[in-house]
Structure 1
Amino acid sequence: MPPPPLPSKPPPSSPSRILLLCVLFLSATISLSLNQEGLDLIQVKSTLIDPSGILSDWNAADDTPCNWTGITCSRANTVTSVNLPSASLAGPFPTGLCRLSSLSIISFSDNSLNSTIPATISACRNLTSLDLSANYLEGLLPSTLADIPNLVYVNLRDNSFSGEIPRNFGKFRRLETLILINNFINGSFPVILTNVTTLKELSLAYNYFLPGLIPPELGNLSNIEHLWLSSCGFMGTIPETFSRLQKLSNLELSYNSLSGPFPAVVFQLRNLYQLELYNNSLSGELPKRDWSNLTALRLIDLSVNSFTGTIPVELCKLPLSSLGLSDNKLQGLIPESLARSPNLYDLRLFDNSLVGPLPSDLGSNSPLQTLDVSFNKLFGELPSSLCDKGQLFDLVLIGNSFSGELPASLGECKSLGRVRLSSNKLSGEVPGAILGLPHVYLLDLADNLFSGNLSSAISGGLNLSSILISGNTFSGSIPDEIGSLSNLVEFIASDNKLSGFIPETFFKLSHLGTLDLSENDISGQIPAQIGSLKQLNELNLANNKFTGEIPDEICNLPVLNYLDLSGNSFSGNIPSGLDNLMLNKLNLSNNHLSGPIPSAYAKEVYRDSFLGNPDLCGGFTHRCPQNIQSKSVHNLWLFRLIFVFSGIVLVVGVSWFIFKYRNINNTKERSRSSITKWRSFHKLGFSEFEIIHLLSENNVIGSGASGKVYKVILSNGESVAVKKLWEKSIKMGNINDSSQKDEFESEVETLGKIRHKNIVRLWCCCKSGNSRFLVYEYMPNGSLGDLLHSSKGRLLEWPMRFKIVLDAAEGLSYLHHDCVPPIIHRDVKSNNILLDEDYGARIADFGVAKFIELGAKGSESMSVVAGSRGYIAPEYAYTLRVTEKSDIYSFGVVILELVTGRKPIDQAFGERDLATWVQTTVNQKGHEHVLDPELEFESKDQICRVLDIGLLCISPLPMNRPSMRTVVNLLQEAVSDGKMRPTMNTDGKSSPYYDEDSSDQASLV
């Protein structure tokens, strides 16, 4: 029997039916009011992710889209332009735009489009301009682009296009601009493009073309004005056919392997405005004649070549704006005619062998902004005209023989930001106005002959972060006004004749990290207020006239790792609290100290740290006197009495607990309630309450921008490291700054999922109020950076260094290739590589790490640069786009640290960093000139092979850097069979290692 029929829904009442009809009618009216192009754009909007809401006014209720953001219409209300740069849009390329029949301009530059460009792009028949630069587009370039008949402008730079440039690109009919800079395009250089004689700009720099000669066919581009072909693998010289390029104004061929003499064909390019031949292998003398042919030339950079001879006078007679001849082998005088240029704002001649004085009126005729003539053989007095135009910012004269007094006019140069005059023969008193310039952040006067007092006018230098005045004859006391320099990080005044006391105002400098007053005549005691300098990393007061005891407050400086108080008259006992510091260098020799040496330093390696203190005892010295031993016995009996008394108290406490169980239980519950969140990632033998209660300022082993790190010894005897992130201010009951939450959760999210022998283990995490705690395994040998750059660094023999670098490489390789999604660390440095008891290396500190998700296509835009100075990849610093190649660059710097023993930033490098110094030195002198002299060179071949791997990792082009998986393989090969495939030229040119599987990253995502 069939089931009874379901009751039908009663029809709506008459009012309801009328309302429904009205709604339907209104919707139909709205849909009909928006024209077809508007509906097409609504469809485009639906395919895009719009986190910033920039498309919120794309409203279906409008008649036309002509007033929408980014939309331009003709007089006939047809859409002619879709212009949405830097709009944070994501998603695939919006192919629906090609349904707009009058569309001539598409611009989505600096967004996050992440697909290929489909072949159907050719349906945009009226397109004249296409700008998709700085996105995440990938795949092959669509050959159908050339089928768009009126296309004039194509900009696809800063994407991830790969493969060869299609042959069809030689068929563009009206194309004037083609920009493909910084992609992954490979194969032979696309000679086919020389058929497009309408081209005015061709920019193919920073791709991966096969090495070869510059095609002479480029001379066919008779209309070309801008030719940017940096790092295109070119060898040889510029062909004579370039003489046909009479409209060429900008020729950029830097970062290639051009060789031979200066190319004479350049002198036939009479409209040339900018010439960039930086970082090639050109040699010989610069031509003396024919420069006058280049009447339009304003910008020229021939730096990092091997040019010899003198600077041509004829070149300097041109009205140049910028002249770069640094890192060559030039000799002779700087021509006086250079100072007569009315346009010169940038002059860089450092690292040559130039002699004589600076041009006498340099700066009087031109708006000079940058002057860097460091590391030459220049002498004479400084011209008083350097800042006549009031625009000088960089004054860098390091490593010459300049003499005389500083011109008083420099004290009126309010534009100065960086002053580096070290290692000269300058003398006299430094004008107080120079010390108090408002915008100077780095004042380097070290190793000169300056004398006199430090002026109280220094209080005006509110932007000063580094004051370097060591190696002079400054006298008198340090002015109290220095305490007003709230941004001061570094004060190095060693080897002078300073006297008096350390001013108490010094201890207001909350950011001070380095204080070096060694080799002076300063007296008095170290004030107890020194404990307020919580960021102090280095304290050097050696060879002064200090007296009194070493204050216990020094032991409370959380990040101190360099302490030198030698050569003074300190007396009394050494504070036992020094045991709590992780000092890389300790020197207390030649004082009047007495009593026992702290147990942590009673080791043979520290013997030299205590010489010249005959009354010290214990450790490697003679045994302590009986009275000290008897005091220890007395202390032992006292301890036993206290123990017995504690037992009595315990019995009473237990009785009280039984009697007051409920109250005690409530107290315990309140204590537990203070832990608001607890999460463990491994099986643990301790509780969160034990961690919280054992934190003590005496156990701080490190401190930084994110918080403090404590060493905690648990009841089971195990040691752990606890990072307590800084507490944030509370406002209206909420955490006012979300950065703490971001770092805490980033580290938890990252390390909580990782299980690898070369990644530091995160045991657990917890929150208590506004405090966040991360509990790690304890690494007894500290960080690689602290160990390598301390007096203990000499203990790191090559086999141990190699083990460390291989361990760290395997850890990073795991992050990049074996995690899903891949993880980019973003702050790889030697201080974030920790060492266990066997000197096994583990990657640590994931506070700024990022997962690279599907939509990011291997990279992600950041709001700010994360990382540490000297380790940051050049492309990351200026694009804020982070990829795994950024980590690889940083790891390359770590390799250079291990091989050279040098820090990533060192005054000895001048204005360069370790990476630049090693590249330049190896190019000019060879590998052996950068190796750490502390290393035994029985393994020299292996060390040099590892150095080559480091140079490969720091290639200026991200595409030329190997993956971490390849780095691991190279390191293993370097030690296993003593042979290594060829790496690359140390100038960053193409490398045969870039044949790795380019799908590695994509397959993991």
Structure 2
Amino acid sequence: MVTFGGIFCVVILAVMLPCLDVALGQSTDPSEVDALGAIKGSLLDPMNNLENWNRGDPCTSNWTGVFCHIINDALHVTELQLFKRNLSGTLAPEVSLLSQLKTLDFMWNNLTGSIPKEIGNITTLKLILLNGNQLSGFLPDEIGNLQNLNRLQIDQNQILGPIPKSFANLRHVKHLHMNNNSLSGKIPSELWRIPLLLHLLVDNNNLSGPLPTELAKAPALKIFQADNNNFSGSSIPATYSNIKTLLKLSLRNCNLQGAIPDLSAISELGYLDLSWNKLTGPIPTNQLASNITTLDLSHNMLNGTVPLNFSGLPNLQLLSVENNRLDGAVPSEIWNDIVLTGNRSLVLDFQNNSLKTIPAAFNPPQNVTVMLYGNPVCGNSSGAPIDSLCQPQSVNQQTSRQQQDSSLICSPCPSDKNYEYNPSSPIPCFCAVPLGVGIRLKSPGITDFNPYEGAFGDSTTSLLKLYIYQLHVEHYIWEVGPRLNMHLKLFPSNTSLFNMSEVVRLQHVLAGWEITLPDIFGPYELLNFTLGSYVDGISK
């Protein structure tokens, strides 16, 4: 046990236990003790992670994952953080007796059954984090009662049925992450009334019906991702051009029909994916926002020529119009306003269209990949350089990266405490014990992370109140979504070990979503927080 000030902290089993304000002689509200007993009774705990839940008082004895605070001169449970504890069983309805609960975190366990409707009685809730389980059943309407809710994460479960219209009453919610379930029915048009909604992620469900035109009235919406649903016969509402705050619109493989509306009025739009639909007609010719990094219109039935408005987009990383019916000439100036130096690159995928001619002076820069396979121009011309552009290719924007070890020749670090070299340390060959952090960017606004790695490091360390050299991006890999899975290492600052209060702070900030990454990176989810040697309290 580590003591600092009036706060007690315990670390066991690779997850940080609560720091709590405890006055001598106080005890936890009896109804909440009973509630925790019922919660444990409905869970299966094969690793005995909750074995101390029958020892003493929940708050004063530091029960695993139980955070408490003094409210109105009484001790109450305010956070239940049971992230990645290998728990199964069900979530007991008695959780509603935790009347002061702000965080309900069962991420990355194996819970089954349905979400109890009684959760709607916990009016203090700010975070509901149930993603990465095996929950089923319908979403309870009662969740719409939670006026203080900031984030609802129920993605990667097996939840059925419609999205409740009552969610429109969530006046403080910013994040609705409901992707990768079996939700069905229409997206409620009422959701536009949510005044603070930033991210609506409903991809990989069974949603159908027309896309709600009313969503264009959403006052704060930045990301709308609804890939891999079946909006059969529906078109993309022209009103979506009025969503002035929209940064990312992703409607891949949704069985959409009709024309692409003119989205040039969305001044902040940085990512547009309308691929694998049944869209027809020409590509709109008005200039898109200069923020655009990714423009994927592939696998549709678009016709006409490749418009000139694709030029003059300084941040463009990927333009894909593969597998359409475009004809005319291969455009030659798309890269003119892009600074393609260092790790910046651009992929232009024109494969399998009807492009017939190519400019005489066609000389893309070295960092530009042009794909022309499956166009008549490949048969109409011969010889270099066009032959090299006419080979079948696939888009591969650095799908993964494993960081190489430092080239410094250093003596081995001590082996007893998981020491290793920090590749970014200002002190060469300095041994320290890092914390491991696994995160996933759930809806990034980029296709290639490489040129944005520096900005990610700057913003992340600033938000975590660390120096830039304390963060090491060990490796990353693009996953289906696309989502970016990253493993980070956090090193102490020019000392061998973090003190325990700093470990507590970092874990709490990351697990409690107390930081917000810049919009270009979108929302993140915490996959793991690995204490390593710190689990034994060696830094106290």
Per the alignment, residue 427 of structure 2 pairs with 852
Q: Distance in 1 between matches of 2:18 and 2:219?
A: 47
Report the equivalent of 2:246: 416
Structure 1 residue 465 corresponds to structure 2 residue 293: yes
Structure-1 separation of matches of 2:84 and 2:490: 10
After the TM superposition, which residues 49-60 of structure 1 pair with which residues of structure 2 at under 5 Å, given as runs? none
Equivalent residue for 2:203, pick from 371, 374, 378: 374
Return the offset for 1:911.
4.4
Q: 1:817 to 1:381 in 2, by over 3 A?
A: farther
1:165 to 2:5 alignment:
no
Which residue of structure 1 lines up, in the alignment, with residue 522 of structure 2? Answer: none
Deviation at 1:439, TM superposition (A): 0.6
CA distance in 1, matches of 2:431, 2:491: 17
Which residue, 322, 326, 348 being the options, matches 2:177?
A: 348
Matching of residues 644-663 of structure 1 within 5 Å: none
Amino acid at match of 1:386: L
Aligned to 2:135, the other structure's residue is in SS state strand
1:215 aligns with 2:53: yes
Aligned residue number for residue 301 of structure 1: 129
- SS of the aligned residue for 2:184 comes to strand
Question: In structure 2, what residue type is equivalent to 1:475?
Answer: N
Return closer, same or farther for 1:875/1:399 CA change in 2, 3 Å cut-off.
same
Equivalent residue for 1:396?
225
Tell me: higher relative CO, structure 1 or 2? Use CA pairs within 8 A at least 6 residues apart. Answer: 2
Larger Rg: 1
Deviations 1:342-389 (A, max 9, x none): 333321101111122111322135432110011111111111122424
How far apart, in 1, do the equivalents of 2:14 and 2:271 lie? 43
Query: How far apart are residue 295 of structure 1 and its match?
Result: 2.9
Measure the CA separation in 2 of the matches of 1:198 and 1:877. Answer: 38
Distance change (3 Å), C-alpha of 1:464 and 1:989: closer
Q: 1:410 to 1:194 in 2, by over 3 A?
A: same
Mapped to 2, the partners of 1:190 and 1:485 lie a distance apart of 48
Match of 1:912 in 2: 483
Report the AA paired with residue 518 of structure 1. Q
Match of 1:429 in 2: 259
Distance 2:533 2:58 in 1: 34
Residue 520 in structure 1 maps to residue 353 in structure 2: yes
The answer to whether the Cα contact below 8 Å between 1:305 and 1:328 also exists between their aligned partners in 2 is yes
Provide the secondary structure at the position in 2 that maps to 1:452: strand
Match of 2:370 among 539, 553, 572: 539
Q: Partner residue of 1:569?
A: 379
* Cα distance per residue 1:468-514 (max 9 Å; x no partner): 11011111112212212222221111011111112343241434510
AA partner of residue 521 (structure 1): S
Q: Give distance in 1, aligned partners of 2:379 and 2:172.
A: 58
The question of 1:339 aligning with 2:168 is answered: yes
In structure 2, the CA distance between the partners of 1:816 and 1:306, relative to structure 1 (3 Å rule), is farther
| Whole-angstrom distance in 2 between the partners of 1:271 and 1:997 | 30
1:592 alignment partner in structure 2: none
Q: What is the DSSP-based 3-state SS (H/G/I as helix, E as strand, rest coil) of the residue aligned with 2:363? A: helix
Give the CA deviation at 1:886.
3.1
Instruction: Give 1:395 shift.
Output: 0.7
Whether the 8 Å CA contact 1:300–1:323 is kept in 2: the answer is yes
CA separation of 1:255 and 1:387: change in aligned 2, threshold 3 A:
farther
- Is 1:818 the counterpart of 2:412? The answer is yes
Q: Hey, what's the Cα distance between the residues in 2 that align with 1:412 and 1:299?
A: 30
Residue pair 2:186, 2:208 contacting (<8 A) in 1 also: yes
Q: Is the 8 Å Cα contact of residues 466 and 491 (structure 1) preserved in structure 2? A: yes
Helix, strand or coil for the counterpart of 1:285?
coil
What is the letter of the counterpart of residue 405 of structure 1? Answer: S
Count of residues in correspondence between the two structures = 454
Structure 1: how far apart are the matches of 2:288 and 2:397?
38
For 1:3-402, what aligned pairs fall within 5 Å after superposition?
Answer: 164-165=1-2, 175=6, 178=7, 196=24, 211-216=49-54, 219=57, 221=59, 247-287=76-116, 289-319=117-147, 320-402=149-231
- Structure 1 unaligned regions, length at least 5: 1-163, 201-209, 239-243, 547-567, 579-585, 590-607, 610-785, 791-804, 826-848, 861-865, 894-903, 916-953, 964-985, 1000-1005
Q: Following TM superposition, by how much is the alpha carbon of 1:273 offset from its aligned partner in structure 2, in angstroms?
A: 3.6
Which amino acid counterpart does residue 286 of structure 1 have in structure 2? Answer: I
- TM-superposed CA distance for 1:218, in Å, is 7.3
Structure 2 distance, partners of 1:470, 1:397, is: 17
1:416–1:406 Cα change, 3 Å = same
- Alignment partner of 2:483: what SS? coil
- CA offset at residue 413 of structure 1? 0.9
Deviation digits for residues 202-259 of structure 1, max 9, x if unmatched?
xxxxxxxx9553534574549x9xx9x9xx6x6xx99xxxxx9874444433343333
Give the deviation of 1:992 after TM superposition: 8.2
| Mapped partners of 1:506, 1:526: distance in 2 | 13
User: Structure 2: which 5+ residue stretches go unaligned?
Assistant: 29-47, 68-72, 436-448, 497-525
- Deviation per CA, 1:445-473: give whole Å up to 9, x if none: 1111111111122x141111111110111
Cα deviation code 1:741-761 (max 9, x no counterpart): xxxxxxxxxxxxxxxxxxxxx
Flag the 1:360–1:468 CA change in 2: closer, same or farther, 3 A: same
Deviation at 1:425, TM superposition (A): 1.0
For 1:412 and 1:271, the matched residues in 2 are separated by 40
Check conservation: 1:256, 1:989, Cα contact below 8 A.
Answer: no
- Counterpart amino acid of 2:121? N
Retained in 1: the 8 A contact 2:269–2:291?
yes
Identity over aligned pairs, percent: 22
- Going from structure 1 to structure 2, the CA distance change for 1:855 and 1:545 (only over 3 Å counts) comes to closer
One-letter amino acid of the counterpart of residue 210, structure 2: E
Q: Which residue identity lines up with residue 361 of structure 2 in the other structure?
A: A
Displacement of 1:858 in angstroms is 6.5
Q: What does the per-residue CA deviation read over 1:634-689, in whole Å, with 9 as the maximum and x for residues that have no partner? A: xxxxxxxxxxxxxxxxxxxxxxxxxxxxxxxxxxxxxxxxxxxxxxxxxxxxxxxx
Contact between 1:165 and 1:185, CA under 8 Å: does it hold in 2? no
CA contact (8 A) 2:311 2:335 kept: yes
Residue 405 of structure 1: aligned partner: 235
Q: State the TM-score, normalized to the length of structure 1.
A: 0.39
Cα deviation 1:109-130 (Å, max 9, x = unaligned): xxxxxxxxxxxxxxxxxxxxxx
Helix, strand or coil for the counterpart of 1:386?
helix
Q: Residues 443 and 468 of structure 1 are in contact (CA less than 8 Å); yes or no, is this contact kept in structure 2?
A: yes
Distance 1:338 1:306 in 2: 22
Tell me the distance in 1 between the aligned counterparts of 2:177 and 2:140: 15
Could you tell me how far apart the structure 2 residues matched to 1:362 and 1:430 are?
Answer: 23
Structure 1 residues 572 and 405: CA distance shift in structure 2, 3 A: closer
